[in-house]
Amino acid sequence: MRSLDSARDVCETFLPGLLGELAEIPLERLESAGNPGIEAFRRRGGPALVIPKAYSGIGADPLRAVQTLRAIGAAAPSTAVATTMHHFSVATLFALADSVKNSGMEWALLEGIAEQSLLVASGFAEGRPGQGILSPTMSAVPVEGGYLVSGAKRPCSLSVSMDLLTASVALPVDVPDGPDGPAGAEPRMAVLLIPKETPGIEVHPFWMAWALAGAESDEVRLTDVFVDEQLMMPTEAGELGELDELQTIGFIWFELLISASYLGMASALVERVLARGRGHVTERAAVASKLETAALLLEGVARMVMDGETSNDALGKTLVSRYAVQDALGEAVRGAVELLGGMAFVQARDTAYLAAVTHALTLHPPSRSSVAQPLADYFGGRPMRLA
């Protein structure tokens, strides 16, 4: 398949030998607990993929990162999903590298990610029904030199293999007492960056589904974890409720790369249809066209980021693209499964598995229903507000 082969070539350029190593491991093992694909990714230099060369990284731009994640997603879905959490975390941090370079301990950790192939897990709010994506699941109590942080993130991919954890946390707000007290005050949000070995961090079983079981998506629990104040990056919403630079860049990278991972899974199915010549040529062309529509949308978002567009308006465009990709992939996968036929579904585990996991893109935040009003407001000329 032309576009998937091109993605594989890009992956081989940046992470030589990774796809070959993954190909030698049965998909069933890659998609189970203890997934060896994550350590293969680490050995091949994957943690440095999107880190700029100026900071000892590989320096893949957003377009090449999308192609690399697509190739990995086609070979090892759990590995793609798990490492997406790493990529979007470090892309966010390094996008603000100049502003944190003089903050001592924080910068030392950032340098170590590329040089030591450290993996970074994301503990941002996700998976809580009725809870906003920006509502932190952890809270902080100020102490001398920093904060004591408590809370939990579940699910949290890379929970076993992570070296560092990033997470959103609610910071207390000092509000002078008035006649009605401090009612109405909202806690500020901050992003923390801490080593996994910090006392008080524990991993507990959580992921019970068989799909994507190799992504290490268990519960990470923090109990009175001391976090140096240098490792806290406060974030602030704009006057109209729009996200600040840190949050906006993070959201754009996340939506881009998680969609690319699922594009890869769907690509593996469509590739089978084309290789086997299943169905009428018009049917094959229709299925492949749906897939390539999704690929072109993601490449457009990647080029937007490369052009320096990471504003609130760019976030709106990114979310529109993500849901369009989600719909296109759903249609492509349904068509591919139908063309491959019942025997391929019941006798080839890979077909059934890939068909199932591609639908998980719909479960990643933000859900379409949760941003219906913000999107309508955005289309009407207002800022894109996720808070």
Measure the CA–CA gap between 366 and 361, rounded to whole angstroms.
10
Structure confidence by residue, pLDDT tens digits, 85-140: 999 888 877 766 655 554 555 566 667 888 899 999 987 755 444 444 456 778 89
In the CATH hierarchy, which fold is given to the domain comprising 120-235? Butyryl-CoA Dehydrogenase, subunit A; domain 2 (2.40.110)
Contact 265/73 with Cβ under 8 angstroms? yes
Please give the pLDDT value at position 106. Answer: 56
| 11 pLDDT above the threshold of 80 | yes
pTM as predicted: 0.91
In the CATH hierarchy, which fold is given to the domain comprising 2-115? Butyryl-Coa Dehydrogenase, subunit A; domain 1 (1.10.540)
Please give the pLDDT value at position 128. Answer: 45
Helices (H), the chain: 2-14, 18-23, 27-30, 37-43, 62-75, 77-95, 97-100, 105-115, 245-276, 281-306, 312-340, 342-347, 349-357, 372-379
| Sequence-separated contacts (24+) of 197-205 with Cβ below 8 Å | 198/225, 198/226, 198/227, 199/225, 199/226, 200/224, 200/225, 200/226, 201/165, 201/225, 203/159, 203/160
Q: Which helix (H) or strand (E) holds 25?
A: none
* % of the chain beyond a pLDDT of 90: 65
Q: Which of 124-128, 355-359, 369-373 has the lowest mean pLDDT?
A: 124-128
Measure the CA–CA gap between 331 and 232, rounded to whole angstroms.
42
How would DSSP label each residue in 199-251?
A: TTEEEE-----STTGGG--EEEEEEEEEEEGGGEEEE---TTS---HHHHHHH
Of 95, 129, 127, which Cα lies nearest the Cα of 110?
Answer: 95
Structure confidence by residue, pLDDT tens digits, 16-37: 999 999 999 999 999 999 999 9
Phi-psi region of 98 (alpha: psi -120 to 50; beta: other; left: phi over 0): alpha
Domain ranges of the chain: 2-115, 120-235, 245-379
DSSP state of 305: H
Distances (CA, A) of 110 to 119, 228, 233: 11, 15, 13
Q: Mean of the pLDDT values across residues 136-157?
A: 90
> Tokens standing for 330?
């759903």
C-beta neighbour count of 136 within 10 angstroms? 25
The mean pLDDT of the chain is 87
Q: Specify the CATH number of the domain 245-379.
A: 1.20.140.10
Please give the pLDDT value at position 346. Answer: 55
How would DSSP label each residue in 80-111?
A: HHHHHHHHHHHHHHHHTHHHHTTSTHHHHHHH
| 238 pLDDT above the threshold of 80 | no
Measure the CA–CA gap between 137 and 154, rounded to whole angstroms.
9
154-155-161-164 Cα dihedral, nearest 10 degrees: -50
